[in-house]
Amino acid sequence: EPEVTQTPSHQVTQMGQEVILRCVPISNHLYFYWYRQILGQKVEFLVSFYNNEISEKSEIFDDQFSVERPDGSNFTLKIRSTKLEDSAMYFCASSGTVYEQYFGPGTRLTVT
Amino acid sequence: GENVEQHPSTLSVQEGDSAVIKCTYSDSASNYFPWYKQELGKGPQLIIDIRSNVGEKKDQRIAVTLNKTAKHFSLHITETQPEDSAVYFCAALRPGNTPLVFGKGTRLSVIA
């Protein structure tokens, strides 16, 4: 069964450093998303991406964040200058129909 | 914007009993309501969903009901098993390429 994959599973970085989180969505899906989940809290939307551009973004997704689909399979989230409060689980999701969104296993980002 | 409330936050049931988790949403335009199961250290897994043109949907031991008038929907798990223990999230989606809005989650513990 096709699934969303994410790398790395765990990333530790120092405050102010740049990180890139990688995702391989389910092939033939057209809609891509990044969500994050701070420990013990609900899943929060960051950004959606369709047709090679951002469709919608939340207030969390400020100028420090960017997304890219560098080739036909990868979908990346970059945080330019990490802050302590960026520590969270980051989930990539993809959808073929806008409705059913399938989530990856997540990347745990720890900013020290 | 959409707001999703979920109750209870924790739920303990004896193996074999039923479990019910309830959610309410605020935006009457929302038309898609998925339920996700999240096991420790993993990403949310889509387990069942319902669209606004349907009142109930069942898949083996899991069922979801929707009351559009009251703007609430519920997850029902019958004959619970220890492997049902997880955090369950409800979510709502408005039409178009919009993000999922999640509830805060329910930690279900099934006691053998």
Mean of pLDDT values over A62-85: 94
> Looking at the predicted structure, is the pLDDT value of residue B97 above 80?
no
Mean of pLDDT values over B80-84: 97
Q: What is the pLDDT of residue B54?
A: 84
- For residue B69, the cross-strand partners are none
Q: What is the pLDDT of residue A72?
A: 77
> What mean pLDDT is reported for chain A?
94
- B27 to chain A nearest CA, in Å? 17
Under the banding of pLDDT at 50, 70 and 90, the label for residue B16 is: very high
> Looking at the predicted structure, is the pLDDT value of residue A1 above 80?
no
Under the banding of pLDDT at 50, 70 and 90, the label for residue A73 is: confident
Q: What is the pLDDT of residue A78?
A: 98
Label residues B97-110 b or e (16+ Cβ within 10 Å = b): bbbbbbbbbbebeb
> Looking at the predicted structure, is the pLDDT value of residue A84 above 90?
yes
Cβ-based contacts of B102 with chain A (< 8 Å): 42-44
Q: Is A31 on the interface with B (CB under 8 A)?
A: yes
DSSP state for residue B42 in the 8-state scheme: S
Which of B49, B28, B45, B24 is CA-nearest to residue B36? Answer: B45
Cβ-based contacts of A90 with chain B (< 8 Å): none
Which of A112, A99, A95, A93 is CA-nearest to residue A37? Answer: A93
| pLDDT tens digit sequence for B28-69 | 999 999 999 999 888 999 999 999 888 999 999 999 999 999
Mean of pLDDT values over A7-29: 96
Q: Is B102 on the interface with A (CB under 8 A)?
A: yes
> Looking at the predicted structure, is the pLDDT value of residue A13 above 80?
yes
Tell the residue number behind the tokens 């945080």, with chain if given.
A79
| pLDDT tens digit sequence for A96-109 | 987 899 999 999 99
Instruction: Determine the Cα–Cα distance for residues A106 and A93; give it in Å rounded to an integer.
Output: 9
Q: What is the pLDDT of residue A40?
A: 85
- Tokens representing A64 are 């420090």
Q: What is the pLDDT of residue B80?
A: 98
Tell the residue number behind the tokens 């309410």, with chain if given.
B24
Q: Is A24 on the interface with B (CB under 8 A)?
A: no
Q: How far is CA B7 from the centre of its chain?
A: 10
More confident residue, A1 or A27: A27
More confident residue, B54 or A93: A93
